[in-house]
Amino acid sequence: MDRIAIRGGRPLHGEIPISGAKNACLALMPAALLSDEPLTLTNAPRLADIRTMRELLSSLGCEIAALQEGKVLAIGAADLASQRADYDIVRKMRASILVLGPLLARHGRAEVSLPGGCAIGARPVDLHLMALEKMGARLDLRDGYVHAEAPGGLTGAVVDFPLVSVGATENALMAATLAKGTTVLKNAAREPEIVDLADCLRAMGARIEGEGTSQITIEGVAALHGATHPVIADRIELGTYMLAPAIAGGEVELLGARRAQAGALWDRMEEAGLSLSETAGGIKVARPEGRVKPLHVITEPFPGFPTDLQAQLMALLTLADGESVLEERIFENRFMHAPELQRMGARIEVHGGVARIRGVPALKGAPVMATDLRASVSLVLAGLAAEGETVVGRIYHLDRGYERLEEKLSACGADIRRLRD
Ligand code: UD1
């Protein structure tokens, strides 16, 4: 299995282009199932997770053309051979569950394997199922699959989510576009990826209002048509690379990014003493001399601080001048990077969902192991600052979500390379 080796201690100077958003693209691709005309997505990121979604859609009978080296995906779902999403693909990626709503809405039936366990917590799909049941789907869970039927089609309904779920909001939103009548999603997720999905569905002829707020209203239509839609920039990739010069030192410009995309991270980084500015070409981040200030940060649904940047922020706070607190409120088991960072000399205590981080003046390189996507990139970031060599194992996690990571960082002067075993 490939590993990544980093020699730390080099400040970063240069520019990093930001790719299309993985999580937006993973919801946009199944939207193609809602129409018999093709959906073309531009600015798609080239990542393992996107390839997995392509594999899944192909297994259902979609015709997919990847143009411009995979940055443009044209997905046709005119003739589906199957409405069954097999365990072999679904187990690789939880976002596979997003085909359930569209298949059911357009074809009246679907069989989707339940996603298996996941390293960052139980992550059930009960809210996805609840929403579809409210819209009239008959669901049966057997043999590890959700067997769903709505022979006469789905019907508009009021769906009140007991907790905010990005994926359940996306599944319900897609299903509702073809349901008879009006659907109201209450306590809906407000993430930019939801707004992007609604924009795309509207371009396909859907009638949607309120995306970006906690109440989304959808008027069902009889059919959707084809469209071309650009995937938004990846705010998590952006945040990760904003934190890179904050940890390693130096000054980096994130090309094509705007302040709004940085969300809650911008203010927290300023609070830590980093220098951020919007430029004509993007966002510039610089670390002034000296150590960063400690922070107390709680992860929350958007517009709160994203759980997907918690591990990377922890890497920064290991070097802060004082004690920081990180409270993880979205996933119950998302501190697996903490023991790995400790191997590099970080001082972290975890009690339940709360991590206390006592900043140290320097980290030391060590062999470490990636446990999930964001955890693994936090170890890369820590390695950029650490003295000596850090070797990160199990980097297939990284390839799921970061396009050309070594290339982007080495262009800014990082000493980082992939070791192929
Ligand atoms: C999406 C993102 C992921 C991010 C997460 C939270 C994608 C492909 N993934 O994941 O990167 O970390 O949002 O911002 O977009 N829950 C339930 N029942 C459900 C669904 C969720 O209890 O049916 C719980 C989860 O266990 C979790 C919380 O709700 O504790 C939020 O999860 P959710 O927003 O659904 O995350 P995902 O859509 O899976």
Q: Are 404 and 25 in contact (CB under 8 A)?
A: no
Catalytic residues: 118
Q: How open is the CA angle 335-338-342, to the nearest 5 degrees?
A: 170
CATH entry 3.65.10.10 includes domain 3-19+234-419 = yes
Contacts of 377 (CB under 8 A, 6+ apart): 240, 311, 312, 398, 401, 402, 405
Ligand 1 midpoint to CA 252 (Å) = 31
At 335-353, the pLDDT tens digits run 999 999 999 999 999 999 9
Provide mean pLDDT across the span 98-106: 97
In the numeric block, the tokens 């390189």 are attached to 365
Domain boundaries, the chain: 3-19+234-419, 22-217
Distance of alpha carbon 256 from alpha carbon 282, whole angstroms: 5
Pocket lining for ligand 1, CB < 6 angstroms: 23, 26, 94-95, 121, 123-128, 163, 165-168, 193, 306-308, 330-331
Q: What is the pTM of this model?
A: 0.96
* 123 band by pLDDT with thresholds 50, 70 and 90: low
* Domain 22-217 CATH superfamily: Enolpyruvate transferase domain (3.65.10.10)
pLDDT at 116: 63
Q: Do domains 3-19+234-419 and 22-217 have the same CATH topology?
A: yes
Phi, psi of 84 (to 5 degrees): -120, 120
Distance of alpha carbon 35 from alpha carbon 203, whole angstroms: 12
Atom of ligand 1 lying closest to residue 330 CA: 30
pLDDT at 312: 98
pLDDT at 118: 47
Name beta bridge partners: 253. 15, 284
At 180-213, the pLDDT tens digits run 999 999 999 999 999 999 999 999 999 999 999 9
pLDDT at 68: 96
Q: How open is the CA angle 203-29-106, to the nearest 5 degrees?
A: 75
Provide mean pLDDT across the span 112-140: 83
Ligand 1 midpoint to CA 307 (Å) = 10
Angle between helices 166-176 and 126-134 (to 10 degrees): 20
pLDDT, mean over the chain: 95
Q: DSSP of 183-203, one letter per residue?
A: EEEES----HHHHHHHHHHHH
